[in-house]
Structure 1
Amino acid sequence: MKKLIIITFLFSVALSCFSQEEEISIDSLIQQAIEKKIDDYYDLYRFFKRERFNKQDIDFLLKESQQKEYRLGEVYAYNLLGRHYRNNSFFDSSIENYMKALELSREIEDVNAEIVTLNQIGVVYRRQDKIRNALNYHQMALELADKIDIPDIDTKISISISNNSIGNIYLALKQYQLALEKFKKAILIQEKTEDKRGLAINHQNMGLAFQNLGDIDAALEHYNKSLQYNIENNSSIGKVICHNSISNVLLLQGKYDEAYKYISEVLPISEKIGNQYYTSDVYITFGNVQLKLDSLDKAKTYLEKGLEVANKHKIPSGINQSNLYLSELYEKKKDYEKAYSFYKKAIEGERKTFNDKNILYVNNLINKYDNEVSRNKIKNLAKENEIAKLKLLRNRNVLIIALVSIALLGVLLYSMYRQRLLNNDKKILMLEQEALRIQMNPHFVFNALNSIKLYVINNEQKNAVYYLNKFSKLIRSILESSSVKEVTLSEELKTMNLYMSIENIRLSNEVNYIENIDSNVNIERIKVPPLILQPFLENSIWHGLSSKKGKKEVSLSVTKISDEFIQIDIVDNGIGRDAAMKIRKNKSLNRRSIGIDLTKERLRNFANEYANNYSLIYTDIIDEEGNPKGTKVSLKIPIL
């Protein structure tokens, strides 16, 4: 027993000495950096990379750097303080320290320190959903980095951080394709620089973009890649984020038990880390899992926890999400008054945030040019002051010249702005004209008239007159559509009926065309771009059915899936996309298909005027034996 006590005592002493030695070694490391006066920000970062600074260590670094007038050390210390407060969701204090770092980095003209600090400020604003400020700071960082003629690895990593952050902003704006482009650019840099932490972050972000686009399989693939990188990096916070995302995808798939397993693993880890932004997310997801498992009391506890944290630290996305789930919870409890109250809060919060973001997105480019004009004016004024000091006698003339110059500059900028607007209008007009030209391609007109001529030759007058009448109506409808931006869904369906009738002549009337319109859809009030469905019907006929033997059928159905969307499904029982592709490759003369890319561009222009975006999904239909038996095109169009 005495031996055990002695061993325990010696172990405690040794542990105490080790702790003191470790503490002294961190202080000593700080003193070494200050004595060496490391003059490159990235070199200073690598010097401290393995050290985990607590608040006391950071304060010591700042104090010593100030006393020894080591300005780069001050910048590094303020950035560490900014990260410390950000990780604990004290965003105002975080911004305050980052701003001090930014001012100092500009004062000592350290571009690398300035780029890093600008990116960090952008991250803090993005955490608070202050998208305008976040975008401005990340763009400033990107512009500074782009000005470096030969960027080194550190600068490339900063560029990837900027691209990743701007991609996150596009995510918040629901511009998912733009977000994916930014994330892919960041990943290319990170793969070359073997930046596993950056790869983990960007695969996580790509997963979120694909999830919002409805591609769940791609989302899970990227989430799992991110999780693997985080495991390799031994990143607890990364594991928390990935498990939270995977749980949300499993909830969408209805796999509630698996979702519970994933989120419950990281709940204690999240609480231990203390990052309130992600802790709020985990509480909300855990509450949602319990809600789906009908464990309402637990769900209520964790959703209220998530809401409390989000409110305390001003996290709008967390507030909106927890209010939405609490609405669902009280609906299950049949307390409809509370359910309505929480739902109203969620919708109002989301609408306010989204509207603010949309306004920013629309005006972003204009703001960018406004900032450039402001900088030019400041430069001009500085030059004017210098001229005025040197040539006081000519002050009046200089002032007149300056005013005229500014006026001319204003006229020039206004002319450039007007020219940009005209070019944009011209692009839209050319797009619509190209769409019309493709619908009216010579092959279609020639073949349709040939088919009608065959009826005349065979003395089938009724059929000739019948189809000639339909052909003339179709041509008139197409020409009328070329002069308008939108038509009613009713007019579009009539035009498609005429088109299918004409195309069917060339297939000896073998195709059975069916329309199914949901009674809840008011086709006289819903607007769509003219001739938007024609390319999909043409693909169904020429790629799906033209090579098929036996019964041929195309169905077009319109359903109202929510107050904000309708869905148009075009289904054929053709040979499937893979078989059609093989046939096209084997043909010596490939028939030029109607431009689906052009149709997507027209849909994007159309959806820009709505609060929601469109979506287009192709589905291969297979039988029980795995053989293709057709193709389904699902087009979701916003109506609010």
Structure 2
Amino acid sequence: MKRLLSVSKNISAFETCSYALNALGVIQRNISKYDEAIALHEEAKTYADKAKSTEFKIISLNMIGVVYRRMDMVKLALDHHTEALKIAYSVINPSLAVTKNIAVSQNSIGNIYLALKQYDLAINQFNKSLEIEKSIGNKLGLAINYHNIGYAEEAKGNLSSALSNFQKSLDYNNMIDSETGRLICYNSIGEVYLKQENYEEAEPIIKEALNKALNIDDQYYISASYLNLGQLEIETNQLTSAEKHLKKALDIATSYNLKSTVAESSKLLSELNRTKKDFETALKYYQQAVEIENTILTEQNLQYVNDIAVEYENENKNNQIKALALENESVRLRLERNKQILLYTSLLIGIIGISLFIIHRTKALKRDKHILTLEQDMLRSQMNPHFIFNSLNSIKLYIINNDKTNAVYYLNKFSKLIRKILMASKEKETSLKDELETMKLYMNIENIRFDNEINFNITVDPAINTEATKIPSLVLQPFLENSLWHGLSSKDSNKKIDLTVSKKLPNFITVEIIDNGIGRIASHKINEKKKLERNSVGIDITKARLANFSESFQNSYTLEIEDLYEDETPSGTKIILHIPTKLKANITI
């Protein structure tokens, strides 16, 4: 949204600026940053005025009213909602957005009546909003209005009717998969159960509501959930826990100026301290509750609401009559202007979208080409003709010597290895379990040429789930080949390779390959004479594959090679490979 706002400002797309600012304001409201939310919605209204957009002005006014209503600032909330209604009713043949906002205004005015305990007036407004939402098939609006009707019925003492409306609201929230909607319904259903003294059913649903509120991180609903949990614990005589949770509700509500919740939590803390016979503290909390309620429920506020309600009903009719005479011309001009804005905005967004797609596609193709090249190089490295030729020669020697058992045994191993290599060439990654099994097969075949002199051991930390852990396929083979042909091939006896898999670092698995060969310095001298380069190329390919594999993880791989010494004499080489296991979080743009 910030990016959209920046681009829209640069091209003076004022309606889009208003849209983006309202969206940012809703985000701030949902995390209880009300002052920031109001500032953003006010700026959105300014851009709506610049664009001369009736729709976006109505939306901005309603959004400001919703924030003030959350803060229990009745007059300011009502002023903005009624202004939105006046403008909306002046529109002939209103668009879907204008119709939705008429419903929003009426719903919000109903909520203001709720705060002022004018329940019948509130239900009347909710029913008006409900009819509009039904006509346009807006499930979110239906969920909100059914919940609000349930709240008013609950306040009137009609608990069965309240529970029925809350359940309807929950059904619609489940249809649209709204986690916030479910949280609100759970809190309300829990409150009804409390009033019915059905504590067994109240407890799990109230605790579930608190968990959802904490996950969403909306302080308004977090404070409401702690309030319900504290009330439940008072009823079930868990006074210590109740006091803790009610104080949390009070602290949050005070911090975010949530007056209704401050009043309710203060009342319950007063009741709790009276039960504990701490009458002084009980009186203090009760006085605080009364003081807050008096700022909301005043005769002046009630009269103000009634006067405004009558005023906007009358003015709506007058506005509609006046608007009919001018509507045809204004509609034509607005449509022309909106067409131009839509055309330019669509063209710009289309160009940006196509450009981003081309850039993304080009990068993806380059990456896929690079991956394919690496996989082909890897397969060529694993299917080295010398390895295949030498392996088959070793098996042929068993056949010539009429050693059928070993011939069949190693031919079977060889065929399994080739099949695994070919299968691995089709996959970018494999399970650690499959990789270790493939390495056992590889070492079994290679060991034929060493007259089975090599003692190869694999040790895996039991805490590691080898089936769930993914690594690049055949990534360990070049390191084992290096140990064999550069470390052990020139050694006379006592040849050993240990492969250990452990969990030494969080979010990594550590693979250590230790050989007791002649060391890298002596091996380098021998290779210079033989002019061998294949293994170093194989390691380079492996590094590139590991780097590509690591792009999907929070951390990159690391590779360390240590020379081992005994009494300053080279005694082998140690490969330490840290492979990442924790994937990056999904980011939605």
TM-score after normalising by structure 1: 0.48
Return the offset for 1:369. 11
Q: Which has the higher contact order (CA 8 A, sep 6+)?
A: 2
* 2:86 paired with 1:143: yes
- Aligned pairs (5 A) from 1:377-392: none
1:118 shift after superposition? 1.0
1:537 — aligned with what? none
Deviations 1:360-400 (A, max 9, x none): 2355368869999xx9xxxxxxxxxxxxxxxxxxxxxxxxx
Q: Which amino acid aligns with 2:23?
A: L
- Choose from 182, 200, 203 the match for 2:143: 200
Query: 1:491-506, aligned counterparts within 5 Å?
Result: none
Q: Which residue of 2 aligns with 1:166?
A: 109
1:155: Cα distance to partner? 2.2
- C-alpha displacement at 1:231, in angstroms? 1.1
Segments of structure 2 that go 5 or more residues without pairing to the other structure are 320-589
Which structure 2 residues correspond to residues 185-584 of structure 1 after superposition, within 5 A?
185-355=128-298, 357-361=301-305, 363-364=307-308
Deviations 1:87-107 (A, max 9, x none): 111111111110111011011
* SS of structure 1 residue aligned to 2:297: helix
> CA deviation digits over 1:434-483, x for unaligned, max 9?
xxxxxxxxxxxxxxxxxxxxxxxxxxxxxxxxxxxxxxxxxxxxxxxxxx
Seq. identity, %: 36
Q: Measured at CA, do residues 86 and 233 of structure 1 come closer, stay the same or move farther in structure 2, by a change above 3 Å?
A: same
In 2, distance between residues paired with 1:67 and 1:365? 41
Distance 1:269 1:369 in 2: 39
Q: Which residue of 1 aligns with 2:570?
A: none
Q: Deviations over 1:267-307 (max 9, x none)?
A: 11100101111111111111111111111111111111111
**Alpha-carbon deviation of 1:312?**
0.6
- In the alignment, which residue of structure 2 is the partner of 1:60? 3
Q: Is the 8 A contact 2:110 2:125 kept in 1?
A: yes
Give the secondary structure class of the aligned counterpart of 1:151: coil
- What is the identity, as a one-letter code, of the residue corresponding to 2:160? D
1:103 to 46, 49, 74: 46
Query: 2:92 and 2:310 mapped to 1: Cα distance?
Result: 27
C-alpha RMSD of the superposition: 2.1
Alpha-carbon separation, structure 2, partners of 1:369 and 1:153:
21
Task: Compute the displacement of 1:171 (Å).
Answer: 1.2
Aligned residues: 316
Q: 1: distance between equivalents of 2:313 and 2:255?
A: 37
Contact 2:44 2:60 in 1 (8 A): yes
| Distance (Å, rounded) in 1 between the aligned partners of 2:192 and 2:104 | 26
| CA distance in 2 between partners of 1:82 and 1:213 (Å) | 34
Give deviations 1:418-440, integer Å, cap 9, x for gaps: xxxxxxxxxxxxxxxxxxxxxxx
Counterpart residue number, 2:344: none
Aligned residue among 103, 126, 149 for 2:69: 126
User: How many angstroms apart in 2 are the aligned matches of 1:149 and 1:243?
Assistant: 40
Rate the CA distance shift 1:154–1:371 in 2: closer, same or farther, 3 A.
Answer: closer
Contact 1:316–1:349 at 8 Å: present in 2 too? yes
- Please say if residues 173 and 361 of structure 1, whose CA atoms lie closer than 8 Å, have aligned partners that are also in contact: no
Distance 1:115 1:362, change over 3 A: closer
Partner SS for 2:157: coil
Which residue identity is paired with 2:27? H
* 5+ long unaligned stretches in structure 1: 1-57, 376-640
Report the Cα offset of residue 353 of structure 1.
1.6
Structure having the higher Rg: 2
Q: Do the aligned partners of 2:213 and 2:225 also contact (CA within 8 Å) in 1? A: yes
1:503 equivalent in structure 2: none
Structure 2 CA distance for partners of 1:367 and 1:133, relative to 1, 3 Å:
farther
SS at match of 2:272: helix
- Aligned to 1:94, the other structure's residue is in SS state helix
The 1:366–1:198 alpha-carbon spacing in structure 2 relative to 1, beyond 3 Å, is: closer
Contact 2:116 2:296 in 1 (8 A): no
1:318-358 deviation digits (Å, cap 9, x = unpaired): 10011001111111212111111111111221123211532
Whole-Å Cα distance in 2 between the matches of residues 63 and 108 of structure 1? 16
Partner residue, 2:58: 115
CA–CA distance in 2 between the matches of 1:325 and 1:350?
Answer: 14
Sort the Cα spacing of 1:317 and 1:257 in 2 relative to 1 into closer, same or farther, 3 A: same
Separation in structure 2 between the aligned mates of residue 213 and residue 268 of structure 1, nearest angstrom: 29
Q: For 1:119 and 1:363, locate their aligned partners in 2 and report how far apart those are by CA, in whole Å.
A: 19
